[in-house]
Structure 1
Amino acid sequence: MAEEQPLADPARVQAALARLVAEEPMFAVGEAEIRGVVYRVFKNAPPSLVGLFLFGLQYGEKDFLLYEDERVSHAELWRRACRLAHALRAELGVKQGDRVALAMRNYPEWCAAYMAVISLGAVVVPLNAWWKGDELRFGLEDSEAKIVIADDRRLDYIRPFKDELGLTLILARGGAEGADYEYEALLAASENTAPPQADIEPDDDFCIVYTSGSTGRAKGAILTHRGAISTLMSWALLAAAIKEARDGISPLGDNPGVLLGIPLFHVTGSHSIFMLSWLIGRRVAMMRKWDPKRAVELINEHQLTNFIGVPSQSYELVEAAGDTPMPSLVDIGSGGAKRPPEHVRLLKEKFPNANPSSGYGLTETNAAGCVISLDDYRKRPDSTGRPLPPLTDVKIMTEAGEAGTGETGEVWIRSAANFRGYLNLPEETERAITPDGWFRTGDLGRMDEEGFVYIVDRIKDLIIRGGENISCLEVEGRAYEHPDVAEAAVFSVPDETLGERVGLAVYPKNGRALDPAALRDFMAERLAGFKVPERIWLSPQPLPRLGTEKFDKRLVRAIALQHPPALKA
Structure 2
Amino acid sequence: MAEQAAASPSPAEIVGLPDRRALADPDGPCVADDAVASSNAEFADRVRRAAGTLRGAGVGPGDVVAVALPNRSELVVALFAAWRLGAAVTPINPALTAAERQYQVDDASAAVVIGQDLDVDAPTIDVDALCAGPALEDPPVEVLDDALALLIYTSGTTGKPKGVMLDHRNVAVMCRMVGDALAVDARDHSLLILPLFHVNGIVVSTLTPLLAGARVTIAGRFSPSTFLGLVERIRPTYFSAVPAIYAMLTALPPSDADVSSLRVVVCGAAPMPAEEIARVEQRLGVVLVEGYGLSEGTTASTINPIDGVRKPGTVGLPLPGQEVLVVDGDGRPVPQGERGEVVIRGENVMRGYLNRPEETARTVDGDGWLHTGDVGILDEDGYLRIVDRIKDMIIRGGENIYPKEIESVLYGHDGVLEAAVVGRPDPVLGEVVVAYVSFRPDADHDVDALQALCDERLAKYKRPVAIHVLDDLPKNPVGKLDKPALRTRDAAAASVG
Same fold (TM over 0.5): yes
Q: Which secondary structure does the structure 1 equivalent of 2:127 belong to? A: strand
TM-score by length of 2: 0.77
Alignment of 1:209-288 (within 5 A): 209-212=152-155, 216-240=159-183, 255-288=187-220
1:73 has 2:39 as partner: yes
Could you tell me which of 168, 173, 177 is aligned with 2:123?
168
Report if aligned partners of 2:179, 2:209 keep a CA contact under 8 Å in 1.
no
The amino acid of 1:146's aligned partner reads A
Number of matched pairs: 424
Q: What is aligned with 2:487?
A: none
Q: What is aligned with 1:337?
A: 270
Distance 1:439 1:566 in 2: 36
Q: Which secondary structure does the structure 1 equivalent of 2:170 belong to? A: helix
Distance 1:336 1:110 in 2: 22
CA positional deviation for 1:383: 0.6
Q: What is aligned with 2:231?
A: 299
Q: What is aligned with 2:407?
A: none
Could you tell me which of 332, 347, 369 is aligned with 2:280?
347
Distance 2:73 2:157 in 1: 28
Q: What is aligned with 1:362?
A: 294
Report if aligned partners of 2:240, 2:265 keep a CA contact under 8 Å in 1.
yes
Q: Which secondary structure does the structure 2 equivalent of 1:405 belong to? A: coil
Distance 1:501 1:204 in 2: 38
The amino acid of 2:325's aligned partner reads K
1:191 has 2:135 as partner: yes
Alignment of 1:66-215 (within 5 A): 66-89=32-55, 91-152=56-117, 155=118, 157-158=119-120, 162=121, 167-173=122-128, 182-184=129-131, 187-188=132-133, 190-196=134-140, 198-212=141-155
| Cα deviations by residue, 1:341-389 (Å, 9 ceiling, x for unpaired) | 221110122122x1011221111111130111446565x2111111111
Q: Which secondary structure does the structure 2 equivalent of 1:230 belong to? A: helix
CA change 1:76–1:239 in 2 (3 A) is same
Report if aligned partners of 1:259, 1:295 keep a CA contact under 8 Å in 2.
no
| Cα deviations by residue, 1:245-280 (Å, 9 ceiling, x for unpaired) | xxxxxx77x842222111101011111011112112
Distance 2:425 2:181 in 1: 38
Q: Which secondary structure does the structure 1 equivalent of 2:152 belong to? A: strand
The amino acid of 1:340's aligned partner reads P
Distance 2:426 2:327 in 1: 33
Q: Which secondary structure does the structure 1 equivalent of 2:315 belong to? A: coil
Distance 1:277 1:231 in 2: 12
TM-score by length of 1: 0.68
Q: Which secondary structure does the structure 2 equivalent of 1:202 belong to? A: coil
Distance 1:202 1:501 in 2: 40
Q: Which secondary structure does the structure 2 equivalent of 1:170 belong to? A: strand
CA positional deviation for 1:291: 1.4
Report if aligned partners of 1:360, 1:384 keep a CA contact under 8 Å in 2.
yes
1:64 has 2:64 as partner: no
Report if aligned partners of 2:30, 2:210 keep a CA contact under 8 Å in 1.
yes
CA positional deviation for 1:45: 3.4
CA positional deviation for 1:52: 4.7
Could you tell me which of 296, 319, 323 is aligned with 1:393?
323
CA change 1:124–1:406 in 2 (3 A) is same
Distance 2:236 2:221 in 1: 18
CA change 1:204–1:395 in 2 (3 A) is same
Distance 1:555 1:231 in 2: 33
Report if aligned partners of 1:314, 1:332 keep a CA contact under 8 Å in 2.
no
Distance 2:176 2:220 in 1: 27
Q: What is aligned with 2:432?
A: none
RMSD: 3.3
1:418 has 2:383 as partner: no
Q: Which secondary structure does the structure 1 equivalent of 2:173 belong to? A: helix
Q: What is aligned with 1:308?
A: 240
CA positional deviation for 1:107: 1.1
Q: What is aligned with 2:367?
A: 436
Q: Which secondary structure does the structure 1 equivalent of 2:391 belong to? A: helix
Distance 2:37 2:94 in 1: 23
| Cα deviations by residue, 1:121-167 (Å, 9 ceiling, x for unpaired) | 11111111211111001101111113100023xx1x43xxx2xxxx2
CA positional deviation for 1:319: 2.7
Report if aligned partners of 1:505, 1:556 keep a CA contact under 8 Å in 2.
no
Distance 1:502 1:135 in 2: 21
- The share of aligned pairs that are identical, in percent, is 31
| Cα deviations by residue, 1:294-350 (Å, 9 ceiling, x for unpaired) | 322211111112121111112222334632332222212112222222211101221
CA change 1:239–1:460 in 2 (3 A) is closer
CA positional deviation for 1:508: 7.8
CA change 1:333–1:321 in 2 (3 A) is farther
Distance 1:437 1:55 in 2: 34
Gaps of 5+ in 1: 1-13, 22-26, 29-41, 174-181, 241-250, 463-471, 477-488, 492-499, 510-543
CA change 1:420–1:561 in 2 (3 A) is farther
CA positional deviation for 1:65: 2.0
Report if aligned partners of 1:443, 1:455 keep a CA contact under 8 Å in 2.
yes
CA change 1:55–1:322 in 2 (3 A) is farther
CA positional deviation for 1:503: 7.7
Distance 2:200 2:253 in 1: 23
CA change 1:316–1:281 in 2 (3 A) is farther
Q: Which secondary structure does the structure 2 equivalent of 1:402 belong to? A: coil
Distance 1:369 1:422 in 2: 19
Q: Which secondary structure does the structure 1 equivalent of 2:164 belong to? A: strand
Distance 1:385 1:129 in 2: 33
1:290 has 2:222 as partner: yes
| Cα deviations by residue, 1:185-243 (Å, 9 ceiling, x for unpaired) | xx32x2334533x2321111111110156883221101100010011012223344xxx
